[in-house]
A and B are shown apart, each in its own frame.
Chain A
Amino acid sequence: MVWIFPVYWMVNTAFKSRPEVMTPTPHFAPAHPTLNNFVNAVTQEQFLTNLRNSVIVVAATVVASIVLGIFAAAALSRFRFPGRRTIMVVILAVQMLPGTALLIPMFVMFNSLNLLGTYLALVLAYVATVLPFSIWVMRGFFLAIPVEIEEAAQIDGASTWRVLVSVLFPLVAPGVISTSIFAFIAAWNDYLFAYTFMQDESRYTLPVWLASFTNPVTGTDFGGQMAASVLFSVPVVVFFLIVQRNLVAGMSAGAVKG
């Protein structure tokens, strides 16, 4: 009960009209359910721009992390070579850094490169946090593939590259999907970097838009903000339910923070 209450309250508020939201005695169900809050949120001129920003940055982050990560994960799971252990430890340790340890130097560097406010700045920041755990999680999926399959292909005369692309990659495909979902959630939810790097309203991503949801004339429009929160959370909740079986494994590598 306690765990569902805040979610219920968010949804409940989202469907109420403004006078019903602002009542001294709260209504536990909307007396006159309305979609106005959702319509208002979506028709704000900023919404579409900010949605587009989010989609571009998140998509670029996911693609970059998966493409770079899958080769690294293959190397770290299928080969034994000097320095491998060190690389693994570095990958894990990066996950545990406080946000500001990357935020401050990146801000300074992007400022001197005139990159603040650009998609590239945000994508680089997200790749820094998403790529290490993508490698870690995908490596787990590679390790689950029996070696015999690979050996059979080698006996048939396939090169290392062919084994990788035609044999291993199709087998890790489900793992790649889960990893992409983790990557999506991490980048989609970020507030700290977007809030600091994207100063201009037209450059906000959705979390920053959500947090700035105030009306200068009438104060914070809680109905609207809750409706926007619902819209923002729905994709994440759906994805969470899809990958729930892999959630615990992903968490231990810091994929999705609590």
Chain B
Amino acid sequence: MTVTHNRRDWAPLWLLSPAGLVLAVVTLAPIGFLIFTSFTDYNQRTLFTGVYSGVGFAQYSELLGSGAFWISLLRTVIFTVAMVAGSVLIGMGVSHLLTRLGRAWRHTVTVVLIVAWAMPNVASSLVWNWMFQPGYGVINWLLGQLRIFGDTTGLNWSQDPALAYVSIWLLIVWQAVPFIALTLNAAETQVPPEYQEAARLDGAGELAVYRMITLQHLRPTLLLITILSVIWDYNVFNQIWLVSRGGPGDATSTLGVFTYKTAFVGFRIGQGAAISVVTTLLLLGLTAFYIRNLLKSGEDL
């Protein structure tokens, strides 16, 4: 860290105040207002009349007493774990594979990963819908060619709870792996090769070398990536909304989708605000942990 101005100086104040004011208006004020709204009965009628009244903790007690909320929370947790585990493990595999490839192949794979990563998630969700389309979708056709599942042409992925999960899981993992693989690969190439050679000379197999040497070096990066993935996957909305709308029924309504449906389909905005506050609070611990880790890993504040 290099700081030249230790003397009392008003410069930082006027440099910061424009951005500070704007951020206060566009982030802090809305968050304050969100908390306020969660203590009111704000609903569809209020949008037109502007009339609402304070209801204390009623939104929260209703929320905590509703089975739909707890199921949605459980769903979110399970789904987040499945997506994070899938993307981190596959990402580790791809990262390791990259270290084994020749120059040309490594370059090709890197470009492919970046292209997949770069796809806007609205576009990739729509591509998913098309690939998994019953009747004409290429996935059903490919599955049919395997001749294991019988005739799969009419398989309706978004109308079956389990299949909807599988396709959304594939979509999220597909898009998360490039970031994870490339970040890990950057860290993996920093591992001093002498360590790995020494371990090999001591008779360690490839797997043992990876587990004992490489993985030890990757640990800090891996930790940051995992926390970040948990935060993102926990908050995921677009892909679920565009692929299944949280359906069939409420089968894929994670907290984000559940909040959205409550606030903008049922227009129970007060209730939606309460869910959003609870969702944020649940995430806060993890966010704090992430920021602490980022600071420890050398980011100087």
Contact = CB atoms under 8 A, between A and B. Distances in A.
Interface of A: 2-4, 6-7, 9-10, 13, 21-26, 64, 68-69, 71-72, 74-76, 78-81, 84-85, 87-89, 91-94, 96-109, 111-112, 124-125, 127-128, 131-132, 135, 143, 146-147, 150-151, 154, 160, 164, 188-189, 191-192, 196, 207, 210-211, 213, 222, 225-226, 229, 232-233, 236-237, 239-241, 244, 247-248, 251-252, 254, 257-258
8 contacts: A71-B18, A85-B301, A109-B30, A131-B26, A135-B19, A239-B118, A251-B183, A258-B179
A225 to B, nearest CB: 6
Contacts, number: 274
A240 B15 contact: no
A25 B237 CA distance: 33
Nearest to A126: B26
Contact of B23 (A26, A131, A252): A131
B115 A7 contact: yes
Given A101-B31, A104-B276, A240 B117 contact: yes
A101 B276 contact: yes
Contacts of A239: 118
A125 B26 contact: yes
B240 to A, nearest CB: 12
A6 B128 contact: yes
B141 A72 contact: no
Contacts of A104: 34, 37, 259, 263, 269, 272-273, 276
Which size bracket describes the interface of B in this complex? 35 or more
Please give me the 6 A-B residue pairs with the lowest Cβ-Cβ distance, nearest first.
Answer: A240-B118, A75-B15, A72-B19, A128-B26, A105-B30, A105-B33
A73 to B, nearest CB: 9
A195 B166 CA distance: 26
